[in-house]
Amino acid sequence: MRLGRILVGLMPREPEALGLVALMELQAARFQARTGAAGEAIPLLEQDRSRWDFVLIGRGLQGLERAEALGRPLGPYALQAGIAACHARARAPEQTEWERIVAFYDGLAAITGSPVVRLNRAVAVGMAFGPAAGLELLDDLTGEPALGGYHLLPAARGELLERLGRTEEAAAEFARAAAMSGSAPERELLQARAEGRR
């Protein structure tokens, strides 16, 4: 973040420099809430938001506002900062502006063409417009070679299937995601969901 702030000092009218620092600040603001006392992973929507760093959030939001005020098209960093800002502004999960997040992902997908961005967009669509809409988009990604070993695809499918009441299918997807994950805390969380312990 220090290097990013130096970059902004050198290029104060570059939206991507401002967006990069804003993104780092907004993501770092949630760091303390991402794990529990025993080191377990805590998903974003379950985090204790009182543990977020609101000084960093304020800085990140201010930097993003400066980037947007320049009136130039936003690049990948600023668009990702916009997504992070939607989460940061929500004092409770149900206050998250999911439709706005979908719009940011639309812009990001147009620039990057990334399958991971398309996956994240599908999750946001599921939150904004219902799990069936998101699942349809995820199903379109199941044959994507770049996502073949990516554990977050079955994890996302599990989440949406569970919301649709298709619990057995959801459990199978969570178990598949757990087997693919390289992170022990994340693997434990996914396995717990597969076994109905969460």
pLDDT tens, position by position, for the chain (198 residues)? 999 999 999 999 999 999 999 999 999 999 999 999 988 999 999 999 999 999 999 999 999 999 999 999 999 999 999 999 999 999 999 999 999 999 999 999 999 999 999 999 999 999 999 999 999 999 999 999 999 999 999 999 999 999 999 999 999 999 999 999 999 999 999 999 999 877
Question: Phi, psi at residue 89, to the nearest 5°?
Answer: -75, -20
Q: Establish if 191 belongs to a structural domain.
A: no
In a domain, 10, yes or no: yes
pLDDT of residue 13: 94
18 falls within a domain: yes
Of 85, 71, 66, 112, nearest to 24 by C-alpha is 85
pLDDT at 94: 96
Four-CA torsion 193, 101, 130, 154, nearest 10 degrees: -30
Q: Can you tell me which residue has the tokens 């961005």? A: 117
Tally of domains within the chain:
1
187 domain residue, yes or no: no
pLDDT, residue 139, reads 95
Q: Cα(138)–Cα(89) distance, rounded to whole angstroms?
A: 27
Does a structural domain hold residue 73? yes
**Could you tell me if residue 35 is inside a domain?**
yes
Domain of 20? 1-96
CA atoms within 13 A on the CB side of 40: 13
Domain-located, residue 83 = yes
Q: Express each pLDDT in 133-168 by its tens digit.
A: 999 999 999 999 999 999 999 999 999 999 999 999
Q: Is residue 11 part of a domain?
A: yes
C-beta of residue 24 within 8 angstroms of C-beta of residue 3: no
Task: Report which DSSP code applies to 41.
Answer: B
Maximum separation of any 2 CA atoms in the chain, in Å: 55
pLDDT, position 197: 78
Q: What is the mean pLDDT of the chain?
A: 96
User: The whole model's pTM is what?
Assistant: 0.93
